[in-house]
């Protein structure tokens, strides 16, 4: 199946796992020095509509967790169309829905995945991203580790050039100067064209190169088509 992102596509009129489209991680990471990361990609499915054997409609929310070591990820529009096509099947319970989702996604991305309750943003100290350029680091007077939420992050979809908005969560030991520096650095993505996963991996690579002390970085991107993508990487 061809990549459907950025193309006008009719909604499927039958159950359509053939619409799922894989994207190779190694292709996405060509611009990075680091080729392997530790973490996962969480896909919040907020509009999971399915129909039981009595033709009763059910609306559920789930999270799909994919290890970032998988050879492939799934293109988001193809996942949305696949999820929407589930209404053309009938299921005894939500467990049957999860089973068929798990089967087809694992076949596509070639690794085991987990289906969980929908993921919610953690509590954190809130800071605002600044529209700026570059990165610097003040290693003096480090504060105790804390979870920070940098709000107002923006990048661009490399296919449609539409803006992608996110809250960036970083668990790290940052003094006030470094908090300001990171907020300004994150603003440098304002016109950058990159998929969500690559944005987070670029941030991990850049902060490591400047010897920032952090344990994880997580991007909670706003949902599109009922799906929110949340890449999480550990240092």
DSSP string for residues in 37-85: -EEEEEEEEEEEEEEBTT--EEEEEEEEEEETTSSEEE-HHHHHHHHHG
Give the Cβ contact number of residue 16 at 10 Å. Answer: 17
Q: Would you tell me the crossing angle of helices 196-209 and 176-186 to the nearest 10 degrees? A: 140
Question: What CA–CA distance (Å, rounded) separates 210 from 139?
Answer: 9
154 with 221: CB under 8 angstroms? Answer: no
Q: How far apart are CA 182 and CA 184, in angstroms?
A: 5
- Examine the residue annotation and report whether 164 is marked as an active-site residue of this protein: yes
Which of 193, 196, 187 lies closest to 227 in space, CA to CA? Answer: 196
> Which listed residue (41, 149, 164, 178) is catalytic?
164
Strand locations in 129-192 (E): 146-156, 163-172
Report the distance separating Cα 136 and Cα 154, nearest Å: 20
Instruction: Determine phi and psi for 129, rounding to 5 degrees.
Output: -65, 145
Q: Is 211 a catalytic residue?
A: no
- Burial class of residue 134, CB neighbours in 10 A (0-12, 13-18, 19+): exposed
Active-site hit among 52, 60, 138, 157: 157
The residues annotated with a catalytic role in the active site are: 157, 164
């Amino acid at each position: 199946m061809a990549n459907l992102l950025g193309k006008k596509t009719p909604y499927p009129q039958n159950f359509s796992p053939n619409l799922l489209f894989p994207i190779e991680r190694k292709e996405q990471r060509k611009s990075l020095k680091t080729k392997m990361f530790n973490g996962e990609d969480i896909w919040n499915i907020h509009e999971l509509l399915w129909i039981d054997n009595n033709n009763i409609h059910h609306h559920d929310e789930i999270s799909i967790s994919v290890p970032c070591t998988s050879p492939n990820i799934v293109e988001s529009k193809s996942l949305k169309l696949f999820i929407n096509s589930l209404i053309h099947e009938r299921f005894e319970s939500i467990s049957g829905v999860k089973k068929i989702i798990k089967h087809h996604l694992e076949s596509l991305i070639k690794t085991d995945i987990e289906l969980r309750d929908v993921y919610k943003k953690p509590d954190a100290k809130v800071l605002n991203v600044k529209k700026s350029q570059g990165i610097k680091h003040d290693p003096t007077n480090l504060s105790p580790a804390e979870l920070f939420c940098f709000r107002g992050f923006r990048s661009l979809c490399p296919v449609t050039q539409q803006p992608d908005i996110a809250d960036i969560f970083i668990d790290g030991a940052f003094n006030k100067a470094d908090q300001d520096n990171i907020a300004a650095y994150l603003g440098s993505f304002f016109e950058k064209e990159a998929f969500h996963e690559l944005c987070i991996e670029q941030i991990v690579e850049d902060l490591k190169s400047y010897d920032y002390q952090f344990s994880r970085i997580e991007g909670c991107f706003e949902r599109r088509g009922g799906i929110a993508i949340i890449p999480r990487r550990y240092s």
